[in-house]
Amino acid sequence: MTDAKRTQQENYQAQDPASGPLTTDQGVAVDHTDDSLRVGERGPTLLEDFHFREKLTHFDHERIPERVVHARGAGAYGYFQPYESCAAFTQAAFLQDPDVKTPVFVRFSTVQGPRGSADTVRDIRGFATKFYTSQGNYDLVGNNVPVFFIQDGIKFPDFVHALKPEPHNEIPTGASAHDTLWDFVSLQPETLHAIMWLMSDRAIPRSFRMMQGFGVHTFRFVDAEGNGTFVKFHWKPRLGVRSLVWDEAQECQGRDPDFNRRDLWQAIEAGDFPEWELGVQLVPEEDEFAFDFDLLDATKLIPEELVPVRPIGRMVLDRNPENFFAETEQVAFHTANLVPGIDFTNDPLLQARNFSYLDTQLLRLGGPNFAQLPVNRPVAPVRTNHRDGPHQSVVHSGATSYTPNSLGGGCPAIAGADAGAYRHHVERVDGETIRRRSASFQDHYSQAALFWNSMSDWEKQHIVDAFRFELGKVEAMSVRARTVEVLASVDGTLARAVAEGIGVPAPRQGADHHKGNSPALSQESLRGDGSIRTRRIALLVADGLETEHLAPIREALSSRGATVEAIAPHDGKITGLDGSGYVVDRALPTVASVLYDAVLLPDGPPGDSPLLTEEAAVRFVRDAYRHGKPIGALGSGVALLERLGVAADAHGVVTAPSASSRGDGAPSSDDGEEFTGRFTEAVAAHRHWNRPALRH
Ligand code: HDD
């Protein structure tokens, strides 16, 4: 089953370019593609040059409208496998048999920026999964945070217009720090809970591979007897939830705008397949009203302490797309792509999405046949009475394309009771035609405060800093002040801390009555397998440094799954202290600390390190320190730290004495192992807070 999608795709491969000469779209061989056909060497081009016209026309039509939101993304194929049968609560075929792997395609995205915007902006990340199941495609179109900004989809255009670059000057790109967003937020307090997540480090993930995913809405599982159970979906990354530091994220936008995209691609190419566990929170239908919030309100989560997340399977991404446009750009997700056993609820946000996704694909992909595109094709057989339309690529035979028919033998027949037809959950709904939000949707503050209360000290500090940054960029002081007023209804301390940074009066009163706390919301509780797999470690080397004893340290780190790269002032080789050549992986001018998770400084001769005169190396180490990254220093590397104003005893700075000071000229294997062990722990912890400031 895993390979069903891959096998299907093989039918759509382009001709091997090595199999013959260049041709036109009509398959006519071309012997000259550099000069257009013209009258005389300096004369006008001829209309009859069909190759020239076809080439330019095709080029002129290469672009399609980008997604109105989530335009920038990266995708990968893989598989999903359940741990055990979930028949007790859903009949979904792909959740029954632990031996069955269902192919998937996942697209991660940012929301605000256009296709060419930078990856490491402060934004929600999309996490959309297409399961190619035996019963048809199922799409779980989620985000990396569990709540949304609005409760009713009719507000989506308003919210997105406020979030997007402002229409008069199209500024800012890929950022939420501008007047219109905060104007909207300050007037629409239902946004506040999601805003708290957006201001947290969840909005600057270190990697797509290190973030959670959430279905957000309450959906419904339906078992074979038609019984429903409410369900919330959670993806938990094996590597834990890890974030960048805001300053680092900003610099990364310039150093590598493709940071998250490249990271995903490289990990899969290297065989470090990203992995998530799928978990569900299940709520029996009779408990629909058991909570102090409404299950249909997408601005609310169900605290895991109230309803634990039950792991039901895992997803592994193990294949990069062949072609970005054909696959990642043309993939079309739709919340209404459901399979038997999974159904909607009446969440008004979800109901609106069920309209919007199909509608948007019609524009983006140019008509109703987009499900025929290779990436969108189900592996389940498709038999419809839909015909024609732009880009129809299926040749339907026969005279009948209607139901009922007798001339086509009544085919395709309606699915019988045992054919796994989709049946909508039966629910009695009764009411008047009204435009009104339920009273159960009115509390916009308790869960925003729950999130705040659940943060560790460093997470709280980062949230305050983020608010100060964002609101500090807002020109209208009235908007700044009004936002602080609404924040005061979440938490007085938070509102006062923000006010202090942005030049508006502290609110007179602030809420202090929201007492809830959910430890599961803090990144502190989301450390994954605790490994250092796929962490990128920069080994800064230069001519004259001690390279002889680095091999065991590098090997130990690599064997734990980290990538160690030797970085030097120049490419090629450097000459180590013992006179031997040492291969350089990257030249300093092409990299920066923000592209690595940790730094390692080797030993060297007594006296000043040759790295001290390398400005880029100095900046590298100082940036790593400022961004809380683990730093390992051996021997004279420790002295270098001191010279750079780095406190060698700060959190996450791991040192070992000089080999030469022990007189034997080499670190003993015990020392090496002990150092590597401590350094590994520091890398696994990811970032280290509460460091003293750099001394200048
Ligand atoms: Fe949406 C794209 C996630 C609310 C309308 N959305 C889109 C994508 C993701 C989400 C991950 C990118 C899919 C891809 O990679 O192609 N959206 C969400 C989540 C929401 C949400 C988790 C709230 C729980 N969205 C939402 C609402 C509406 C839309 C309320 C409209 C009423 N979303 C769209 C869209 C997009 C889209 C306009 C743009 C491109 C696309 O659909 O395919 O239809």
Q: What is the pLDDT of residues 29-80, one digit of tens each?
A: 999 999 999 999 999 999 999 999 999 999 999 999 999 999 999 999 999 9
Centre of ligand 1 from the C-alpha of residue 248, in Å: 28
For residue 518 the two structure tokens come to 């959910």
User: Does 662 have pLDDT greater than 50?
Assistant: no
Domains of the chain: 4-60 (4.10.91.20), 73-146+202-368 (2.40.180.10), 536-684 (3.40.50.880)
Least Cα distance to 582 among 554, 605, 560, 614 occurs for 554
204-210-214 Cα angle (round to 5): 85
User: Does 95 have pLDDT greater than 70?
Assistant: yes
Mutate to test the pocket of ligand 1, among 353, 358, 376 (most ligand atoms within 8 A of CB): 353
Q: Which atom of ligand 1 is nearest to the CA of 108?
A: 15
Helix (H) or strand (E) holding 601: strand 598-601
The string of pLDDT tens digits covering residues 623-645 is 999 999 999 999 999 999 999 99
Mutate to test the pocket of ligand 1, among 123, 349, 357 (most ligand atoms within 8 A of CB): 357
Read off the pLDDT of each residue in 654-673 and give the average, rounded to a whole number.
Answer: 63
Phi and psi of 489, rounded to 5°?
Answer: -75, -15
Centre of ligand 1 from the C-alpha of residue 334, in Å: 8
For residue 430 the two structure tokens come to 């009764």
User: Does 606 have pLDDT greater than 90?
Assistant: no
Q: Residue 1 has what pLDDT?
A: 47
Give the model's confidence band at 672: pLDDT under 50 very low, under 70 low, under 90 confident, else very high.
Answer: confident
For residue 392 the two structure tokens come to 């129809």
Residues contacting residue 61 through CB under 8 Å, at least 6 positions apart: none
CB count in 10 Å sphere of residue 362: 14
637-642-646 Cα angle (round to 5): 100
ipTM at complex level: 0.99
Pocket of ligand 1, beta carbon within 6 A: 67-70, 73, 107, 109, 126, 128, 141-143, 148, 153, 156, 216-217, 298, 331, 333, 349, 352-353, 356-357, 360
Q: Which atom of ligand 1 is nearest to the CA of 69?
A: 39
For residue 524 the two structure tokens come to 């502190």
Percent of the chain exceeding pLDDT 70 equals 98
Q: Residue 663 has what pLDDT?
A: 47
DSSP string of 461-508, one letter each residue: HHHHHHHHHHHHT---HHHHHHHHHHHHTT-HHHHHHHHHHHTSPPPS
Q: Which atom of ligand 1 is nearest to the CA of 352?
A: 32
Mutate to test the pocket of ligand 1, among 66, 68, 70, 324 (most ligand atoms within 8 A of CB): 70
Read off the pLDDT of each residue in 357-365 and give the average, rounded to a whole number.
Answer: 97
For residue 414 the two structure tokens come to 């309606």
Q: Residue 418 has what pLDDT?
A: 80
Least Cα distance to 546 among 368, 406, 667, 408 occurs for 667
Q: Residue 16 has what pLDDT?
A: 94
pTM of the model: 0.97
Nearest CA to ligand 1 atom 7: 70
Centre of ligand 1 from the C-alpha of residue 357, in Å: 7
Give the model's confidence band at 670: pLDDT under 50 very low, under 70 low, under 90 confident, else very high.
Answer: low
Give the active site residues: 70, 143
User: Does 353 have pLDDT greater than 50?
Assistant: yes
Centre of ligand 1 from the C-alpha of residue 155, in Å: 13
Residues contacting residue 45 through CB under 8 Å, at least 6 positions apart: 36, 37, 38, 52
Q: Residue 3 has what pLDDT?
A: 85
Q: Residue 512 has what pLDDT?
A: 83
Give the model's confidence band at 671: pLDDT under 50 very low, under 70 low, under 90 confident, else very high.
Answer: low
Nearest CA to ligand 1 atom 26: 353
E strands present in 159-309: 213-214, 219-222, 228-237, 275-284
Q: Are strands 598-601 and 536-540 parallel, antiparallel or unpaired?
A: parallel
User: Does 358 have pLDDT greater than 80?
Assistant: yes
Q: Which atom of ligand 1 is nearest to the CA of 154?
A: 32
Q: Residue 669 has what pLDDT?
A: 47
The rounded mean pLDDT for the chain is 95
Mutate to test the pocket of ligand 1, among 191, 208, 333 (most ligand atoms within 8 A of CB): 333
Centre of ligand 1 from the C-alpha of residue 337, in Å: 13
The string of pLDDT tens digits covering residues 122-178 is 999 999 999 999 999 999 999 999 999 999 999 999 999 999 999 999 999 999 999
Percent of the chain exceeding pLDDT 90 equals 94
Helix (H) or strand (E) holding 11: none
Centre of ligand 1 from the C-alpha of residue 154, in Å: 13
The string of pLDDT tens digits covering residues 496-552 is 999 999 999 999 888 888 888 999 999 999 999 999 999 999 999 999 999 998 999
Q: Residue 2 has what pLDDT?
A: 58
CA gap 603, 472 in Å, rounded: 44
Q: Is 593 or 609 the better-scoring residue by pLDDT?
A: 593
